[in-house]
Structure formats: C-alpha cells, structure tokens
Structure 1
Amino acid sequence: MTAAANPVPPLPFSPTAHLALRELATRAGTGVTVVCGFPAAGKTTATRLLAELIDPVVLDKDTFAPQLEESVMTELTGHPHDRDSDLYRRVVAPHLYAALVQQAVTIARRCPVVVDAPFLGYINTAGEQGQRLSDYIRTITGGDVAIRTVWVGTDTTRIRERMAHRSAERDRPKLAEWETYRSSVLDSGLAHTGPAVTDHLVVN
C-alpha cells in the first residue's frame, strides 16, 4: 500500500511561493516541467497548484509503478518500501526514472506535462558533472522537447512533521531511522545542490 492512510491537506504555501508558481506557469504551457525535492517537501502541493494554472498531464513517481518497486525491493531486500538503500539507487531507481522521464517527453509532444518526483539521484549526478538538471535529463531522453526543473525546498523539521502526518507506508523506514535518514539524505548536501542545478526555486 503506497497511498496515505489519511487524507492530507495541502501544505500552506506562502504568498512568495504562490507567486513563483504563477510566474512558472507562464512558461510551463508546453514541454515538461519537473517538480523535484525531498520526500514530503511539498512537491505534490506545488504540482497541484501548478496544474490548476496550466491543466497538464501529471505524472507522479509514487503512482507510476509502485507495485513493481515494491515487488522488486521485497525480492532484493525484504523491505517493499525501501527507497533509500544503495541497492535501490543502483538497481531500481535509474531504470524507473528513465522510464518516467521518457514517458513525460513522449506525452509532452502533444500537451504539457508536470512530473512530480524527488529526482535526488539525478540532482546528485548533475551536480557532480557540473550540469543543469534539465540538460542532464535531456541526455537521457533525447529529442527537442522543452524541459524545465523546479526545486521545492522546505526545512527538515517540517519534512518530518509532514511525513508523520501523512502516515504513508513509504515513509515508515525513514521515520523509524530518522537521524540516519536526516544525516545521509537531508543533510547530504542535496539541499544546496538542488537549488543550484534546477531552473526555478519554490520555498515553502
């Protein structure tokens, strides 16, 4: 089960964040807009607000192929909701994200697309290679579809509160080993690399 057990209201975005999304919407009427950031940072809320403005096709990584992720990780590690291990990052994530962005580009040839996903591995690689995230994604998808990227940022305390409130199965391993997750992911440098390699920043 990957859906939240309880309905979770959208994160209250600041007027500044709303303004940033409205400005982004003026450019997002074509091509692919990638909304990325840490889990529980507010990506889905930003995607919903953006979708209200441009009426795109929305691709959400959490609903893209959850049964595949869970079955593979159960077979490999015994933990269906493992999304943070080195094994997941090496064996599952590259192929899943490649399929997700390729699907987005294919659809975007006919209508605008917004992709809601962390993209932390892509961000790390783009940073190491000194590339923009949008350019790195183009090396994977090819083609001439416009791609723009958005980092949704928030503070660590709010991320933990959000995870606890939404009660999603995929968050339980993170919450159970919070200090390890915080130090290895949230405090890993990605909070600085994300805004540096993306095209737009939304802070809530």
Structure 2
Amino acid sequence: MTYLFFFCGHAGTGKTTVAKHLAAPLMRATGMPFCLLDKDTLYGPPGAAAIGALTGNPNDRDSPLYLQHLRDPEYRGLIDTARDNLELGVSALVVAPLSREVRERRLIDRAWLGVADDVAIRVVWVHTSEALAHERIAARGHPDDAWKLAHWETYRERRFEPADDIRGDLLMFDSSAPTAADYDALLAQLVDRPRATGAMLPPLPV
C-alpha cells in the first residue's frame, strides 16, 4: 500500500507547514518513504516566468489569464507527479489550495486521479479564520499575495468552507492554534492507527 495525502485550503492557512511537520512522523508510522510535492515550489518559478511573459507581472497569479489558462495545467502536473511517485512505491504529500477540486470531489475520484485501488487517499482541509489568514498573508510578504491583499473583498469571495455534503470526504484541521494532541490525532487519522500514549507530536508554531 502507498499513501496519497492532500493538504488543501486557502492562502494563509498553513498547509505547507502542517504537511512538513507530519512528513517525518508519517514515514516513521508507516515505514515508507514520502515525497513532498508543494505546488508553490514546483510551479512557482516556471509559473512566474510564464505569466510574466504574458502580462508583464510575474506575480499575477490571480488574473483571469492565469486562472483560465495556467492554473489547471499546473494542478494536473502536480497530480501526475504524485502518481509517478506512487507507481515507484513512494507515497506523496501534495500541498496546494485545490479548492475547486475539493468542491467537485475530484480528489477522491480514483479514475480522475489515475491511481490504483491499493493507494490510500486522504484529503486534509487546513483552515483558520479569515482574519488570521489575512494576518499571516500580510506577515509573510510574498509578492504573489499582493493582489489578494489589495483586493481582499474580491479575493474573499473565492474563499469557502466545505459544505456538509463534502465534509465526509475530508479530514478537517484547524491551524489557528494547534496543539500536540491535534497533530497526533491527525496523524492517527491519516494512517488509521490508534493513538499511542506518550506518542504525541511536538507542538508546531504557525
């Protein structure tokens, strides 16, 4: 068995931080290698070069042109890379917003993902309050976030909380102020093992 774990959510929720924090404990718990596939790391530089050539602004990740023409190929490449690793026996932690795919229930669709029945799939929805997400985005000062901060009222219309009909697909994780017990519980849910006394993960500042 291999594992395909998605860490999804809106900007500023701490998806990458949570995934990185769990990578080593997951390898210990499963005895298997994992790779971390972060969309910003894989597609940040080439995406910036492409959108910069088209619009003159390499940080324009919220324009209609990017959303209509570059978003989906980047996401498809991310999932295809995860599948290549799974076929080699390497489990994958995939970090990306993937909000549209969550709403459309694509991330539990094995045919759409192209993965075998022996791949265990989990989708973690990392969330926090809008105010805290805004605070984190402003604090990190990334150029890709400039449009979001300048047009927050428009951007916030793209934010959503998963509805009841899809929550059953997800492991909900509140990253506002997670404790060691919160991370231990998520680890147990990911690998379907009982929580062991004294085996809690250390707390993670986010």
Residue type of the alignment partner of 1:146: A
Q: Which residue of 1 aligns with 2:56?
A: 78
Choose the corresponding residue for 1:63, options 28, 34, 41: 41
Structure 2 residue 126 is matched with structure 1 residue 152 = yes
1:119 and 2:90 correspond:
no
What TM-score does the superposition give when structure 2 sets the normalisation length?
0.72
Per-residue Cα deviation, 1:3-26 (whole angstroms, up to 9, x for no partner) = xxxxxxxxxxxxxxxxxxxxxxxx
After superposition, give the CA deviation of every residue in 1:138-177 in whole Å (9 maximum; x if it has no partner).
Answer: 3333130332211001110000110111111111111122
What is aligned with 1:88?
66
Letter of the structure 2 residue corresponding to residue 35 of structure 1: F
- Name the structure 2 match of 1:200: 171
- Aligned-pair distance for 1:193? 4.3
Is residue 69 of structure 2 the alignment partner of residue 97 of structure 1? Answer: no
In the other structure, the counterpart of 1:31 is 3
TM-score by length of 1: 0.73
Find the residue that maps to 2:11 and give its secondary structure: coil
**CA 191–82 in structure 1, closer or farther in 2 if over 3 Å, else same:** farther
**1:172 counterpart (132, 146, 159):** 146
Q: Highest Rg: 1 or 2?
A: 2
- How far does the alpha carbon of each residue in 1:28-76 deviate from its partner, in whole angstroms, 9 at most, with x for none? x832101000011110121022113113210110010222211221233
Q: Distance in 2 between matches of 1:36 and 1:96?
A: 15
Q: 1:142 — aligned with what?
A: 114
Q: Judging changes above 3 Å, is the alpha-carbon distance between structure 1 residues 30 and 64 closer, same or farther for their aligned structure 2 residues?
A: same
Q: How far is 1:197 from its partner?
A: 6.6
CA distance in 1, matches of 2:131, 2:93: 27
Q: Assess if the C-alpha contact under 8 Å between 1:89 and 1:121 holds in 2.
A: no
2:158 to 185, 191, 197: 185
Structure 1 runs of 4+ aligned residues shifted over 6 Å read: none
Q: CA RMSD in A?
A: 2.1
Give the secondary structure class of the aligned counterpart of 2:60.
coil
- What does 1:15-26 correspond to in 2, within 5 Å? none
Q: Alpha-carbon deviation of 1:87?
A: 2.1
Unpaired runs of 5+ residues, structure 1, are 1-28, 127-131
